[in-house]
Amino acid sequence: MSLVVQKYGGTSVGNIEKIINVAKRGIAYKKKGHNIIIVVSAMAGKTDELLNMAYQINKHPDKRELDMLVSTGEQISISLLAMAIKNLGHDAISMTGGQVGIITDTAHTKARIESIDTKILKKNLKQGKIIIIAGFQGVDLSGNITTLGRGGSDTTAVAIAAATKADVCEIYTDVDGVYTADPRLVPNAKKLNTISFSEMLELASTGAKVLHSRSVIFAKRYNVKLEVKSSFNKSLTTKGTFVIKENKDMEKVLVTGVASKIDEARITIKNLPDKPGIAAKLFTALADNNINVNLIVQSSSQKNKNNISFTVPKTELKEATEITKTIANSLKTKTVTIDENIGIISIVGIGMKVNSGIAAKMFSLLAKENINLQMISTSEIKISAVIQKNSIKKAVQVLHKGFNLDKLKR
Amino acid sequence: MSLVVQKYGGTSVGNIEKIINVAKRGIAYKKKGHNIIIVVSAMAGKTDELLNMAYQINKHPDKRELDMLVSTGEQISISLLAMAIKNLGHDAISMTGGQVGIITDTAHTKARIESIDTKILKKNLKQGKIIIIAGFQGVDLSGNITTLGRGGSDTTAVAIAAATKADVCEIYTDVDGVYTADPRLVPNAKKLNTISFSEMLELASTGAKVLHSRSVIFAKRYNVKLEVKSSFNKSLTTKGTFVIKENKDMEKVLVTGVASKIDEARITIKNLPDKPGIAAKLFTALADNNINVNLIVQSSSQKNKNNISFTVPKTELKEATEITKTIANSLKTKTVTIDENIGIISIVGIGMKVNSGIAAKMFSLLAKENINLQMISTSEIKISAVIQKNSIKKAVQVLHKGFNLDKLKR
């Protein structure tokens, strides 16, 4: 008998009707002979509703109390789903993060899972129950409720799958898998049958919002087989995209996907003294304030002077700019500029590890369309470039076609 | 330094503005040098909102899951209140029933408190924190979330006060104390400064909805000093009504209050065989179905035949009638009648224990107004009568005046 962990996001449990559909799917799997653990998020809109109440009190509410508040969202979903399953004649039990024994560190609103006690899960599975677990939450060693941050339900599901040695962790979402590009930008984008953890990770960080990065890291570390699939597809046999350990065959493909982001802005400081430790000072200050810096490029503009450019989410731009200006002032440099009119285009593929010339091909494809590259950043299996925001759609289409992704077989 | 437990109902924390007012009151008490524990209910309307979601799935949802669901209502209130207190510059911590160690039996939706672990409360009080506790909830020994049933937050507050040996347990509500009669029916009704536990208990069961019966029983058993007061009164020094252990002085007053109910209906079975065990059979069947029977009168109508009349809440009338008809059929009696057009009038006072003739006076006061008594039931400190519903207002006014309650000094 296999063990399947399923995770449903907020849209999939957005109302009572949808919750009943999830209940039916869970029961159908159970009847096929699987043991089932279901991890759910808060109903769509619920978390924001709770946050809005908190923000009426304070724009930066106490984090312990915020976790106490928002964790109720998932608690509502699990109880309703368990009721729905029982109402359909099957046994089920809902459990909060604390009840499952998901122990985290004490970092409220962005806690990390430290351990999971699987005894109670095994006991309930043995009794034939479908177990419903609240995603996104745990408790610290003192019993305080903690939450894992945005996308935390994915992480809960993967962690539960790892701890219980589940055969597969199915992530249900509103798309039916991972695509070579966003189908809204590229109509002939292809659904991938498989993708490696590393590729998924790079895609997640470059704009493909299918899976939360941290859950992919977790899955990679514990080698949990992930499947991304649609909760709106009624068939149980339709496959989604499997996120798996990479293999040699995968390297035959040069590029697996094209991703883009338009929710970042660029900050530039010019004429910094060319001395060691300046970049460290800047990025430590930003990290201390929880600013998520993405691309960084440093270049020398003239003798003994450097420029540093980096991108941050637009939601953090104001705070990041203030911090950067303070640092710039302390270095007697006043030239801090910002550009919100940018986009980031990325290509991802583990084939890059063994194939050279991919960057050159990417740049020439973009150059042919007169798309100017403002910043370039590369990793082992990813190449990203900052370009003008209004060129993003064209860039995605050109790269998708240029790397023959519409004919990709994976 | 004294310890004050305060309980605020759903209306008192009905929106963010009201929550902030509760926060201010708590801090004001703290600044006067008291240690403060605050017990709160769910925001007004919240519990019904949650129940309505459950009822969309099933009219009789699974009780364990129902407790999992509705307990989120109080969790939302406590986190918002703790945020509000912290935002006003004072330290606070919110705690669920489980976190406080409120252990109950396993009777979901109507659990009873078995023990409270006060260690964590004492530790947090010592650190100067205002502790905010979710009312109405606990956990069983296996860690399942349980709820205490309607009015359960009062019981939580009293239990916490008893366990921590608090100096007083203040119950905040939308009235400023316990009155000799409902001021909407009797404009010159007087607020009582003190009332005995027994009187409060009888008043609670006869229609005065100020305090939940179970909390009064609890307070009486553990001798917790209760004060009923208004959360809308800004002054900290305005006294409400103290519910205390009875003393000799109290017996000087014949009648302390007049209460009335119009939410019950009467069921009558006629011509029952005059054999032992018939009443037992009927009321066991009703109790097994959780029907709350209030007044019971049995009388013999003719030789070897009995009539039994009893009242039940109108919300339970349909179910109670069906059960009664089934029993009647099994006894070969078909005469089951119901009357929804009734009211129950009661007078309460521990003075009745030592003064005779009070019942006679009550009946003659009502007779003078041509109010006919359909059923009569007495306890040591209470006399109740079933009368026509449209006579209730007149009856309350007549009894209030006849027993000189408008001049009562207590």
Q: How far is CA B116 from CA A392, B5, B63, B99, B215, in A?
A: 61, 15, 23, 10, 15
B143 touches A: beta carbon within 8 Å: yes
Interface of B with A in 24-83 (CB under 8 A): 50, 53-54, 56-58, 61-62, 64-66, 68-69, 71-72, 75-76, 78-80, 82-83
Q: CA-to-CA distance for B15 and B34, rounded, in angstroms?
A: 26
| B83·A20 Cβ contact <8 A | no
- Closest by Cα among A206, A311, A295 to A257: A206
Query: What average pLDDT does range A12-28 have in this prediction?
Result: 96
Q: How far is CA A36 from CA A23, A30, A85, A320, in A?
A: 11, 6, 12, 44
| A94·B20 Cβ contact <8 A | no
**Inside any domain, residue A32:** yes
**Inside any domain, residue B60:** yes
B86 touches A: beta carbon within 8 Å: yes
Chain A interface test: which of B22, B68, B123, B146 (most A C-beta within 10 Å): B68
Report which of residues A247 and B125 the model is more confident about: B125
Beta bridge partners of A269: A308, A336
Confidence of residue A301 (pLDDT cuts 50, 70, 90): low
User: In sequence order, what E strands does B253-295 have?
Assistant: 257-261, 264-273
Query: What average pLDDT does range A277-296 have in this prediction?
Result: 88
For the four alpha carbons of B208, B214, B216 and B217, in that order, the dihedral sign comes to positive
Shortest CA gap A80–chain B (Å): 6
**Inside any domain, residue B145:** yes
The two three-digit tokens of residue B345, written as one number:
């009038």
**Inside any domain, residue B110:** yes
Q: What is the pLDDT of residue B301?
A: 67
Q: How many CB atoms lie within 10 A of CB B139?
A: 23
| Strands of A342-348's sheet in order across | A257-261, A342-348, A382-388, A375-379
Of A62, A75, A76, the CB nearest to B82: A62
Report which of residues B103 and A205 the model is more confident about: B103
Confidence of residue A173 (pLDDT cuts 50, 70, 90): confident
Domain total in chain B: 1
| A61·B83 Cβ contact <8 A | yes
Residue type, B175: V
For tokens 């109302």, name the residue: A15
Q: What is the pLDDT of residue B130?
A: 98
| B19·A57 Cβ contact <8 A | yes
Q: What is the CA radius of gyration of chain B?
A: 23
In this model, does residue A237 exceed pLDDT 90?
Answer: no
Rounded average pLDDT per 10-residue block, chain B, 410 residues:
93 95 95 96 95 95 97 98 97 97 95 95 96 98 93 94 96 89 91 92 78 88 93 82 89 89 93 84 88 86 82 93 93 90 94 86 93 89 94 96 92
Q: What is the pLDDT of residue A222?
A: 93
**Inside any domain, residue B223:** no
Q: How far is CA B402 from CA B85, B165, B361, B405, in A?
A: 49, 41, 9, 8
Of B16, B78, B86, the CB nearest to A62: B86
* pTM for the whole structure: 0.85
Please list every residue in chain B whose beta carbon sits closer than 8 Å to the beta carbon of residue A68: 75, 78-79, 82, 94, 96
What whole-number percentage of chain A has pLDDT above 70? 99
**Non-local CB neighbours of A346 within 8 Å, separated by 6+ positions:** A202, A206, A207, A258, A259, A260, A382, A383, A384, A385
Q: CA-to-CA distance for A260 and A150, rounded, in angstroms?
A: 20
| A82·B72 Cβ contact <8 A | no
| B87·A50 Cβ contact <8 A | no
Q: CA-to-CA distance for A389 and A262, rounded, in angstroms?
A: 7
**Inside any domain, residue B396:** no
Q: Which domain holds residue A160?
A: 3-174
Q: What is the pLDDT of residue B272?
A: 86
In this model, does residue A409 exceed pLDDT 90?
Answer: no
**Non-local CB neighbours of B312 within 8 Å, separated by 6+ positions:** B264, B265, B267, B286, B291, B292, B293, B294, B320
Q: CA-to-CA distance for A217 and A212, rounded, in angstroms?
A: 9
**Inside any domain, residue A25:** yes
| A68·B86 Cβ contact <8 A | no
Please list every residue in chain B whose beta carbon sits closer than 8 Å to the beta carbon of residue A83: 54, 57-58, 61-62, 65-66, 69
pLDDT in tens, A77-86: 999 999 999 9
Residue type, A320: A
Query: What average pLDDT does range A374-401 have in this prediction?
Result: 93
Q: CA-to-CA distance for B71 and B65, rounded, in angstroms?
A: 10
Q: CA-to-CA distance for A202 and B34, rounded, in angstroms?
A: 56
Q: What is the pLDDT of residue A297?
A: 87
| B80·A99 Cβ contact <8 A | no
Closest A-chain CA to B20: A57
| B83·A98 Cβ contact <8 A | no
Q: How far is CA B317 from CA A264, B267, B282, B307, B333, in A?
A: 64, 8, 15, 19, 19
Q: Is A251 helix (H, G, I), strand (E, B) or coil?
A: helix
**Inside any domain, residue B193:** no
- Closest by Cα among B172, B233, B175 to B38: B172
Residue A290 region by backbone torsions, left for phi larger than 0, else alpha for psi between -120 and 50, else beta: left
B43: CATH: 3.40.1160.10
Q: What is the pLDDT of residue A391?
A: 95
Are B272 and B278 spatial neighbours (Cβ–Cβ below 8 Å)?
yes
